[in-house]
Amino acid sequence: MNTQERLDFARIAEAITYIRQDFKKQPGLEEIAEKVGLSPAHFQRLFTNWAGVSPKKFLQYTTIEYAKKMLKEGRASLFDTAHEAGLSGTGRLYDLFINIEGMTPGEYKNGGEKLSINYSFAGTPFGNIIVAATSKGLCYMAFSEDEREAFDALRMIFPKAACQRKPDAIQQKALSFFSQDWSVSDEIKCHLKGTDFQLKVWETLLKIPMGQLTTYGDIAARINNPKASRAVGSAVGDNPVSFLIPCHRVIRSSGELGGYHWGLVRKAAIIGWEAARAGIQ
């Protein structure tokens, strides 16, 4: 690391410390940039390059982590949580949760208590699968040979939701994807719980054509964050909707398959199955 890089790193470290300490004041770009002695435009570019996210997004992540802690501990109402986090009101708290967590603050606080989830099990060419949906869309799909373990994993994500074993139209539409109705994926709405970064990665996965593969680095480049390959790998691994959101189409730059939450043998089988069918069309 040369002298300029050390200086840049020190400034970013100072900015991060400042944001973490004073996030309740919700400092703006100009204020933070002034704190480290840079112009707003230069600081914006430098911070994004080093931290992988913009200063505004980093402030949002810091704020919401504090708000999540308060809500999880049951220490405050939504109004008090917004106030304590430095937000102007519950409206901004709501927007923050929707944009970053994919759910309302009330849903987060209640652990999905007001959600009604239908789920069912089905057989596929690659083993048994659990598929679940809310009224808003598909929320979970995972390979599992053990129905109890599969249901427990669903409950871990939505611990207080009202779950009932009942097939519905959303589930059936998702399962029809295994019968080569490739166009159906564009018609399925998802109700996903994830950070803004995770949602961006999952959206990018949906753009990988059937029968084709890409790398973690390519995904990072597509979301304009080329240094975030490791973070992309984590987001890919956290994908809550197997197969339909095709995380199996992502491999290492060396050509190795890399990891897969539902097993490398299954990943290889899916890749081969898709390649064969893409070649037929």
Active site residues: 247
Sign for the CA dihedral angle at 172, 175, 179, 184 comes to positive
Please report the DSSP string for 85-119 in residue order: TT-SSHHHHHHHHHHHHSS-HHHHHTTTTT-EEEE
Best CA proximity match to 91, nearest among 78, 73, 108:
78
DSSP summary character for residue 241: B
Give the type of residue at 142.
A
Q: Please give the C-alpha separations between residue 76 and each of 22, 66, 177, 225, in angstroms, as whole numbers.
A: 20, 12, 44, 36
User: Cα–Cα–Cα angle for 251, 254, 258, nearest 5°?
Assistant: 35
